[in-house]
Amino acid sequence: MLLLSRNAFATSLVACVCILGVVLIQFPQLQKLINSKKSASLETLEKEIKSEKLSLNFLQKMPSFGYDNFIGDLIYLNFLQYFGDDEVRDKTGYSLSPEYFEVIIERDPRFLAVYRSLSISTSLYAAMPERAIALSEKGLKSLSPWIPEKSYYVWRYKGIDELLFLGNAQAAQKSFATAANWASNFSDAESQLIANTSQRTAEFLSRNPNSKYAQISTWAMVLNYQVDQRTRKRAIRAIEALGGKVITTPEGTNKIVFPPKD
């Protein structure tokens, strides 16, 4: 038994090391792209992006040996590096965003933190809301109201994408209603706040699918996600275009002033 246990441990360790090695080997192009971003031509950058996409496709299909979460974590770290490189992204765009999340959600659909990044990077930056929604729906098949905790947020992110980027008020209404239902299972202040605000948004949309109040409230959700300055400016512009105003209080919080009529 002891020998079998040692063999099993050794096999597991070797598999882990192999996976780590493969993952690290598959991402040299991204690091090269980051290091040479100031001088690289657009043609070179586009070649690097194609190479990175092939690497992600490989990682999606490779065996995990039970280390799916580990692989998901590593890929998410590489995504953050990719997304945060504004200088290169201004040249090439954000088309790889959904490719990262395709792999991560396939490996670890309960990795809750990735869904907000998925919504912002894929819908707002890459202009692929349909892809973001499809990936969220794929991940939701592995979620429940209780596992993981606060998984109701995924329904909210999905509702935001459906309302703001597809204009599908009916689908958004169902997503916000589900978020409210899932959040209502918990008694803590955060969950109750999410339950109440999601329910109000769902009710707005059920009464008036074109509700400006609902759209402003949804952009306010984006604004309150502690997003980067570019996303913040986009949300404020959208709120103002709908007739609302954003006022920053002395405490640093955002106060939304709604228009007189919906």
Domain residue limits at 199: 129-262
Final residue in a domain of this structure, among 108, 139, 163: 108
Q: What is the mean pLDDT of the chain?
A: 82
CA distance 75 to 59: 9
243 shares a domain with 148: yes
219 shares a domain with 139: yes
145 shares a domain with 42: no
Residue 54 lies inside a defined structural domain of this protein: yes
Amino acid at 114: V
Is pLDDT larger for residue 124 or for residue 158?
158
Residue 64 has a pLDDT of: 64
Residue 14 has a pLDDT of: 45
Final residue in a domain of this structure, among 108, 137, 163: 108
157 shares a domain with 251: yes
Cα dist. 153→140, 158, 195 in Å? 11, 9, 10
72 shares a domain with 152: no
Question: Total structural domains in the chain?
Answer: 2
149 shares a domain with 259: yes
Residue 27 lies inside a defined structural domain of this protein: yes
Residue 50 has a pLDDT of: 81
158 shares a domain with 42: no
Is pLDDT larger for residue 186 or for residue 68?
186
Is pLDDT larger for residue 64 or for residue 207?
207
Residue 116 lies inside a defined structural domain of this protein: no
163 shares a domain with 241: yes
Residue 152 has a pLDDT of: 97
150 shares a domain with 220: yes
Residue 124 lies inside a defined structural domain of this protein: no
162 shares a domain with 34: no
Reduce the secondary structure of 14-42 to three states and give it as a string: HHHHHHHHHHHHCCHHHHHHHHCCCCCCH
* pLDDT bracket for residue 227 (50, 70, 90): low
Reduce the secondary structure of the chain to three states and give it as a string: CHHHHHHHHHHHHHHHHHHHHHHHHCCHHHHHHHHCCCCCCHHHHHHHHHHHHHHHHHHHHCCCCCCHHHHHHHHHHHHHHHHHCHHHHHHHCCCCHHHHHHHHHHHCCCCCHHHHHHHHHHHHHCCCHHHHHHHHHHHHCCCCCCCCCCCHHHHHHHHHHHHHHCCCHHHHHHHHHHHHHHHCCCCCHHHHHHHHHHHHHHHHHHHCCCCHHHHHHHHHHHHCCCCCHHHHHHHHHHHHHCCCEEEECCCCCEEEECCCCC
Residue 118 lies inside a defined structural domain of this protein: no
30, burial (CB in 10 Å: exposed 0-12, middle 13-18, buried 19+): buried
CA distance 58 to 70: 16
255 shares a domain with 149: yes
Is pLDDT larger for residue 129 or for residue 248?
129
pLDDT, one tens digit per residue, over 106-123 is: 999 999 999 999 888 999
Residue 45 lies inside a defined structural domain of this protein: yes
Res 5 pLDDT > 50: no
